[in-house]
Amino acid sequence: MRVVCSIAALLCLTLVAGCGSQSTRPGEIAEGSPFPTSGSATVTGDFAGYPGVEPFIRSMQQQGFAPNQVAAVLSGAKREQWIIDAMNRQAPRPSTGPTGAWTRYRAKFLTPDNIANGVRFWQQNEAALNRASARYGVPPEYIVAIIGVETRYGGYLGKTRIVDALATLAFAYPRRADYFSGELASFLVMTKEEGIDPFGPRGSYAGAMGLGQFMPSSFRDYAVDFDGDGDRDLWNPTDAIGSVANYFKAHGWQSGVPVAVRANVQNPATARAMKSGFGSRYSLSELAGRGITPAGSLGGASQVSLLEFDVGTGYAYWLGSQNFYTITRYNHSSYYAMAVHQLARAIAERKGR
């Protein structure tokens, strides 16, 4: 998902368990447009006078918005300094050696409660998960694990108004202004298309929404009406399940292919010197020539990623398939994708699958 900072980052600080109940989209309008038909085209409030505001309003005319409609939304949006501070804390810190970063990260998500709640969520939504798996080729446990990592199965959806998060990052956070301006534009189009009050949806401080924490552009591109009620409602478990599976399929998920297997490494120094991460690509023969072999089947994959994980006493190595790379399209982090993979396996094992 085109997500820079999903709610999983918040969950590293606040751990809330839940199993997600049937819900409805926040701020849904019964009929008509949620945007005004008249009013001033001048922005007041927190974003008045910001240099990016007027160009944004002009650009939205190409999306079918009158200037007064966009101005009304921006005038009601709030600039939240804490969001900027939180984004700045996301900057990567250099490491000079193993510190146990993976061990600590893993421990935040692979907890007994999170595994048990994953089984419970699966049991409560088994019909939708089976249907999504059959349609998109994604095993149920990976759909469940994404929702578990992102929102603790709906237990923590985020409380930030999406319009405040996106406006703050679009106009008061120059480092990523282009990206978040695009997401703010997608959000306004999404609310118009879906008949949602733009001040209604709440989610993460980066603007992600629903059980699967979709950014607005991903909502528009990949959200599906999986329960057939005419709405794409990512606050509803059934639609969220179908949408996560659809997202994976659209980003190259290969049915029946293992996500990752451990690597046997003859010489750790050799592996340490090689390029690693979800963006690396090696043939199995090239890896074998360097003393690195898979500890299990990779389902016929011709190329794999070399994945390195800091376990404190050194580094653990895995080989990732296309499906591992697909998970990183949700969040561009090898640690994130491995946490999803290992949580999925643990949930499936606990369920007896």
The residues that are catalytic are: 150
Rounded CA-CA distance 321/310 in Å is 20
86 within 8 A of 300, measured Cβ to Cβ: no
Nearest Cα to 253, choosing from 145, 318, 325, 305? 325
240 within 8 A of 209, measured Cβ to Cβ: no
- 142: Cα separation from own chain's centroid: 13
350 within 8 A of 115, measured Cβ to Cβ: yes
Rounded CA-CA distance 296/264 in Å is 10
Q: Residue 62 corresponds to which tokens in the numbers above?
A: 């190409």
Rounded CA-CA distance 349/70 in Å is 50
Name, in order, each residue with C-beta under 8 angstroms of 12's C-beta and a sequence gap of 6 or more.
105, 108
